[in-house]
Every structure is written in structure tokens, then in C-alpha cells.
Structure 1
């Protein structure tokens, strides 16, 4: 039974703390509520009898952070639970467990775990795209929500907003959201079978797929080359000309490093982990004489160390940013005419039609994936020596267009 006591006042407590009052710790307020002193700190406790008859004490916080009035309210709430046959200490523990479980199911937490799981198997390009889609678009809006309760109606408005300015990232964000939910199901954080049904085909405006504007006639390509050759910035000009001469993905071009260039063999070895299509081996890119001269001309800018193409002013990346290549072409009047990525289609079309190069050789140069699993398993032809000849012919052909 709680010890009978005269109710406390703020003055009584302050006097006891100073050691000048008539009452000493522990200070009892009645009905089991009391204030104790421990290591110079003062803490509220509630002495009570559990529903099973055992005595217990419930911590109600520290004084003065929890005032006398607040401590009485907390004690009253605890006694109300006891009247309902509920042990307040056990209820608090259950609440903490439930809160911890909800925190473990937060979308933001699971999104981070999914990224950590998947990143080692992604190329740097894929990793950056997915991280941006998750961290810039999904987590700010969904991060604090319970993944068990998230539905299509929570995600689709975000995807539509992103789609208004970046259709590419809208689809990346949608794919990431769906995969994070699948991951949550696999981890037991969401009910089996409750996938997101974003149905982008019917819930987003239609888009033209797989089209990167590209010059595919001598006249059109001559115009593109003249524009690139006339760019003022030597780094931008060199990077875009390398795209023309090698037809490699812009993301790979801007990440080109000096140590990847074999000057003697006139080859560029792109590490497998940087490639979109992984083969387990570096992608070998023959470098025509024109490319060797081009990179040597800008070597003084970096001292021949690190990235071949240094970043422009105000860029935060350690190398020239991929998007700056597209921006340069648009600014030079080639919007809707040519993109850096479209230079791959230019090679694929014009080298086939104008130079008669075999399609398999061009596919090897472009590092496209094999069309089916059988080809991927058994066809490892890379046509390196043949591509040396072909790419030199291609570079000479480009130089002849003016």
C-alpha cells in the first residue's frame, strides 16, 4: 500500500534539493508517487502493485525536466491502466517494441538497406541514377512512412511530379519504389503479395522510347562535326570528338582515366564495373590516330594523371559531367538534331551503310549485350583487331567531312 504522505510543493522540492528543508529524499507525494535522489540527479518514481500482486516501481522522468504537475499526470495515467488490469511498465515496454518495429519498417530505412544490397552489383552510372531517384525523390516524401502501409496512391503523385521535369528519373524512381517494396516483403516487413501497382503505361503521359537524335546522313553529320569543332572549350571539344571517333557511352567518356589508355597498343580499356553491359572483362576500345593526338593535346591540363577530362568551373564532379556534353550541343543549336549518346547510332548506321562494316563488329564496338542467353554464354568474340582497322577508317571518314 502506498505510504501516506503530505503532498509535495515546488518549494518543498527546491528546499530539499538545497538541503535546507524539513523533508529529505525520497520525497513522497502520495499514492505511490515519489522523488528520489541518485548521483546528484533527481528522478520521479511510482511505487505500485502489479496485477499479479508483485510490487514494482515505474520511472516517470527526471526533475526538473518533468515538473511536479506533469509527474502527477503521468502517475494518474499509470493508475488508470492498473484499474484496467494493465501493468503500466509492461505496457511501456510493449510500446517501445512496437515503436522499434515501426522504425524498422520505415520506408527510408529499408530504402537505404536496399541500396546497400544492390549497389555492389551496379555500374557507377546505374548506382548514381538509383541513388538520386531514391534519395532526392522518394525518401523526402516517403521516408518516415511505414512501408507496410504505403500504397500506390502514396507513390504515384511523386512519380508524376518527377515525370514533369525528368521522365527518365520518374521511371527510375518508380522502379526503385517497386523494388524496395519487394525487398520489404522479403524481409518480412510487409504482407506477402502486396506489391505496388504503379502501371506507368496508363498513369503517365506517353513518351517516345529509345530515341536519341542522331545524324545519319553525310550532310547532317558534317553539320554536327563543324559545330563540335567550333566549340571554344578545349575539354568539351575533345570529349565530344572522342564520342564521335569511338562511339562510346558519354558516361564512360567523361570518366576516362589516363591509366586506362595503352599508348603503345592505342587502346582504351574501360573497366567492367563501369560498363552498362558487364562481361567480366574490360571493354577494349581501339583508339585511332586522331584520338591519340586529341588526348595528348589536353594532357597538360591534368599532368597525365587521374581523369582525362577535368571538370568545368562550378562543377562538383571530379571529372567533366556527362550532362554538360548534351548541354553544349543544345546550346550550339543542335537540340533535337544530335545528342552525345546519339553518336553511337550515327556510327551504327553510317559505318554500316557508308563503309560496309559488318554489324557484329559494330555491335562489339558499341558493347551492346548479346540478344539472347545462348549468345551471351557462347559468343565471346570481341573483334579487337578488326575494330582497330574499322575505327581508323571511321575516324578518317569523319575527318573527310567538312
Structure 2
């Protein structure tokens, strides 16, 4: 026996030891069975060899299965399938069978080799699961019938409740409509109040300019300077109306601008007042930064903070009135600090000053909306605002995302 024959013999032995193997002739008569086939079928080799393979056929199997099997293997194709079988002692076993036609040199079928695996436990377990599922299905059907009966009772019970709910819904809809109208009126009131608050200071600036014009009418150069400042104030007052009209629009396009531009625009509006109140204004521009946002709205933020600072310093008897704006750049943000040497904010009010309608001023001097709208503007630009008391005054801190550095 050469090397290839020995190896082939080993392969055959391995298959024979691990599988249930049988061979039949072209008419289905058994010509070979291994020990595993005898063990599971409970027949001896002498009883099996020479017998037709249907000796282990289970009567429950549909004849169509075997017709399909024979049609497949007689057409020289491999058949695969799970087949229910009957042992000699009446026990049932299931085999996952692969039946292979063996062809001679002329390509004609010589015999069939069947290699099988015992899947009885898996099939039995699956049958038990199916039986359990059927039981659950029947149980569910009975439960569904009970649920249907109870549902009918609930439907009858809910009819009167639905009618009552419908009445309450109609009442609530009428209330919501009324609240919506009231909300619109309140929003308009807030807008008008804030415009009045924002315009109060520019009007004061115009009053100062007109007074100076009266005093300096003989000085043409001074007159022209005062006249130009008055025009700027009027232009900004007009733009304030547009800003508030567009404040809640979502389709506004952002612009690129430098922080210092918005600070200087606000200072220009209040320059006359600062001079009159002897307020020293200083812009510490450590690193000017370009951002993307709404410059006019940010100028309104600074003007509101400058105006509040002026009012705070008026309430404190100090000689050295300072308003210092500092621009600093961090990794991803620009930090703008607005310091004033005025009266400190009461500790219990520090967490409230950005809430709508909260104010420590007299109703004729403030609406309590300025800082609230400041916060809204900054948050819409991706920023935030904070405040803290210092030993010699108050500092507001504005944080805005950087667009690009100059």
C-alpha cells in the first residue's frame, strides 16, 4: 500500500468513526453500513446489507420528500436534508443527511454514499419549543378574548369621559388663544420699553450737544464737531429701531468685525455724557480680535453696560470715575472685560441681574430688560456674559468665539 492509499484509508476511517455512513446501489439497496448506522438504527449489519434503505423509513414522512431526494440524486446532484427515521425498536431518530452520487469512468451512477449526522436532540427540542409556543398562542387567544370584553366595558365607561374632555379641551383652546394674544401684547410692550430705555441716553446726548451748540455758536470749528456728533447719535438712534425690528429674525446674515469697532461705536454715542460726568474711559486693546456676528447688536450691549456703569458711578461719591474696557484673546475665545469704579452690586442680586424685568433702578429709569437682552444677543452669537464684584468696583466679562485673528 503506497503513501496515498494509506492516507486515503485514514480519511475513510476518520469519516467512518465520526459520521453515520451507508452506501446503496442505484436501486436503493444497502451495500454498506458502518457501526454508527447500526447503533442508531438498532439493526445489525447482516439485517441491513441487502435490504432496501426504506427499512428505516418513518411512515409519517411525506412521500414527496423521498421523490424529491431520488430526483435529485438520479440527476447526479448532491441531496441535503433532515430526514425522520424509525429504528428497529420503534424509537424515532432524525438524521441530517448528505447523499452523494458516485460516478464511474463513463460518468454513469455507480452507487450512492450517504453521510449523516444525528440531530435528534435538536429536532426534539425544537418540537418542544413549537409545542410550548402553540400553548402560549392558545393562552394569548383566551387572554385576548378577556381583554376584548374588558375593553368593551372601558369604551362604554370612557364615552362620557371623552365628552367631558372634549368640552375641557375647547375651553383650554379658548384660553390659549387669549394667552397668545396677551403674550404678543406683552412682547410688544417689552420691545417698546427697551427701545425707550435705549433711546433715553442718546436723547440726553443730543440735549448736551444742542446746549453746547448754543454756547459755541461763535466757534465754527466747535460747532461743526458738535454737529457731526449729533448726526452720529441720530443715525444710531434710527438704526436702533431697525435692530429691534430685526432682533427675532432667524435669516439675518452675520458679518465680520473687530471687537474694538463695536466698543468705539458705543463710546461715540456716550462720549459727551462721559465728559460731562467726568468719567475716564480707557480701552486696553491687548490683542484686537475679529469675530463673526452682529456688530450693531454688540454695540448696543456695550452701550447698555456703559450706561449702567455711568449710573452706578453717579450713586457713589468718588472722585476718580473709571470705565476700563479690556480685550484679551484666549485659545478659542475673546474675553472683553468692562470694569467700572462705581457702586458694587448687592450679593443677593448678582444671580438675578440677567433675569427679565429685574432692576434695582426706579421704574422711570429702567425696565429690567437691558441686561436680559444683552445676554440673549451674546448667546445668539455663541457667547456669554458674567459679572462679579471687585474690591474697587464691578467687572462684567463677555466671552465670544473667535472667528480669526488679525
Q: TM bucket by the smaller chain? A: under 0.3
Q: Whose RCO is larger (CA < 8 A, sep 6+)?
A: 1
Higher share of residues assigned strand: 2
TM-score, normalised with respect to structure 2: 0.18
